[in-house]
């Protein structure tokens, strides 16, 4: 793999290089949190020192919250032609790149989802490592270090960044930006790198031990704590919306007022919603909130292993921050390990 150097004094020039490949998107502050937003001016592309956790993960670029999948008319159903802009997403943390790898596998297994792929091909990922905050626990989900899934990846080593080139597109970017990306990477850089890795490893403070939870999910399926969580759960679905690996959607048809045309919309759904498992004849397979919570955690911590070999929690900490009643991977694992 190619590794280059980007000096911090050249950092401001990065925007112009990236902007040649597409719209530049990066985390920007919103209240006390961050959101991925379009960066219009190079001054606005800021590299944050702290760990940046956007409210919504990058799945919003690949499977929008709500979009039109079909144009409908009484005699024809047609896939709409949409012009999806290429987006260069800057500052994506390793755990989110792991989530992206999971989404790639998910959307290309069995059937390849064309709506996902159209968008996936238009996304360029510029990852960035940073020191963890008090909620990040990706070291416990084996997602704190990335080996693939990015186009470029930045590691901040003080005066400069080490830049890993992870794809052909990434290679195109560093070639076009050859005046700021330096091939001169002396061997002693390795010391800085190892020191950084060590510092980062030690900086994790949230230790959620996921070992053995697959079996515990099985053994504790009928435990009382699920009902206690069920009592508290508001079925608001925020946990699923902010989870970088939640993919469920619903589909609905809507007609224009003239009734001669309409659209089929696909929008984010949540297994926390009561009507999620409703079938014909009003039978509901998961009537209670406890049953729906169990489904989510079974899927995250157990079922995904059967499908893809690893759990689908990437340790981003969003559910811990987001759930208003403290039902999250941390509190559930606490109960499982009781």
Binding residues for another protein, per CB under 8 A?
A: 69-70, 72-79, 104, 106-115, 117, 120-121, 148, 167, 221, 247-253, 255, 259, 262, 264, 269, 271, 276-282, 285-286, 291, 295, 298-299, 302-304, 306-307
Contact 319, 243 (CB under 8 A): yes
Q: Which of 204, 268 has the CB closer to another protein? A: 268
Q: Which is nearer to another protein, 132 or 262 (CB)?
A: 262
When the beta carbons of 140 and 292 are compared against another protein, the nearer one is 292
The nearest distance, CB 100 to another protein, in angstroms, is 10
Closest approach of another protein to the CB of residue 255, in Å: 5
Evaluate whether 149 touches 92 at the Cβ level (below 8 Å).
no
CB of 48 to another protein, least distance (A): 27
Q: In angstroms, what is the minimal distance from the CB of 79 to another protein? A: 5
Between residues 187 and 279, which has the closer beta carbon with respect to another protein?
A: 279
As measured in angstroms, the least distance from the Cβ of 194 to another protein is: 28
CB of 336 to another protein, least distance (A): 16
The closest of 85, 90, 83 to 16, measured between CA atoms, is 90
Least spacing, CB of residue 84 vs another protein, in Å: 14
Nearer to another protein, 139 or 266 (CB): 266
Nearest to 141 by CA among 105, 197, 102: 102
Tokens 């290309």 belong to residue = 108
Q: Which residues contact 313 (CB under 8 A, 6 or more apart)?
A: 141, 210, 245, 300, 301, 329
- Would you say 196 or 249 has its CB closer to another protein? 249
> Closest separation between CB of residue 203 and another protein, Å?
31
Interatomic CA distance for residues 206 and 138, integer angstroms: 9
Q: CB under 8 Å to 97, separation ≥6 — which residues?
A: 125, 127, 146, 149, 150, 153
**Cα–Cα distance between 125 and 113 in angstroms, integer?**
20
**Where would I find the beta strands (DSSP E) of the chain?**
2-7, 23-30, 33-38, 66-73, 76-78, 87-92, 123-129, 152-156, 160-165, 181-182, 249-255, 262-268, 278-279, 283-284
> For residues 47 and 167, which CB has a smaller minimum distance to another protein in the complex?
167
Residue 79 makes CB contacts below 8 A (sequence gap 6+) with 69, 70, 71, 114
Which conformational region is residue 37 in: left (phi greater than 0), alpha (psi within -120 to 50 degrees), or beta? beta
**Distance between CA 147 and CA 283 in Å, rounded?**
45
Shortest reach from residue 28's CB to another protein, in Å: 26
Instruction: Decide: residue 78, CB within 10 A, 0-12 exposed, 13-18 middle, 19+ buried.
Output: exposed
Q: Which residue number, 5 or 300, has a Cβ lying nearer to another protein?
A: 300
Q: Could you please report the per-residue DSSP string of 36-54?
A: EEE--SGGG----SS---B
**44 vs 254 by CB, closer to another protein:** 254
Q: Classify residue 251 as exposed, middle or buried by CB count within 10 Å of its CB (0-12, 13-18, 19+).
A: exposed
């Amino acid at each position: 793999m190619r590794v280059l150097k980007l000096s911090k004094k050249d950092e401001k020039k990065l925007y112009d290089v990236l902007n040649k490949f597409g719209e530049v998107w990066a985390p920007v502050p919103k209240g006390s949190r961050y959101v991925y937003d379009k960066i219009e001016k190079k001054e606005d592309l800021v590299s944050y020192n702290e760990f940046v956790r956007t409210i919504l993960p990058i799945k919003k670029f690949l499977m929008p919250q709500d979009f039109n999948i079909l144009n409908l008319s009484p005699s024809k159903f047609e896939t709409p032609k949409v012009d999806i802009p290429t987006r260069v997403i800057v500052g994506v943390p390793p755990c989110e790149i792991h989530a992206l790898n999971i989404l790639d596998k998910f959307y290309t297994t069995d059937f390849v989802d064309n709506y996902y792929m159209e968008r996936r091909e238009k996304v360029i990922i510029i990852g960035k490592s940073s020191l963890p905050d008090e909620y990040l626990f990706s070291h416990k989900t084996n997602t704190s270090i990335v080996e693939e899934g990015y186009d470029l990846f930045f590691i901040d080593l003080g005066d400069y960044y080490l830049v890993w080139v992870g794809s052909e597109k990434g290679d195109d970017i560093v070639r076009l930006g050859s005046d700021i990306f330096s091939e001169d990477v002396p061997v002693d850089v390795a010391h800085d790198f190892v020191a950084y890795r060590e510092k980062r490893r030690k900086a994790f403070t949230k230790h959620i031990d996921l070992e053995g939870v697959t079996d515990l999910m099985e053994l504790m399926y009928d435990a009382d704590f699920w009902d206690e969580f069920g009592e508290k759960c508001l079925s608001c679905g925020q946990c699923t919306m902010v989870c970088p690996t939640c993919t469920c959607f619903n589909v609905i048809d809507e007609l224009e007022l003239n009734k001669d045309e309409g659209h089929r919309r696909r929008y984010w759904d949540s297994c926390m919603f009561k009507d999620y498992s409703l079938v014909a004849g009003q039978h509901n397979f998961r009537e209670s909130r406890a049953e729906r919570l169990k489904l989510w955690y079974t899927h995250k911590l157990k079922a995904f292993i059967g499908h893809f070999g690893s759990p689908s929690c990437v340790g981003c900490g969003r559910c811990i921050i987001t759930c208003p009643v403290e039902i999250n991977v941390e509190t559930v694992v606490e109960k499982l390990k009781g």
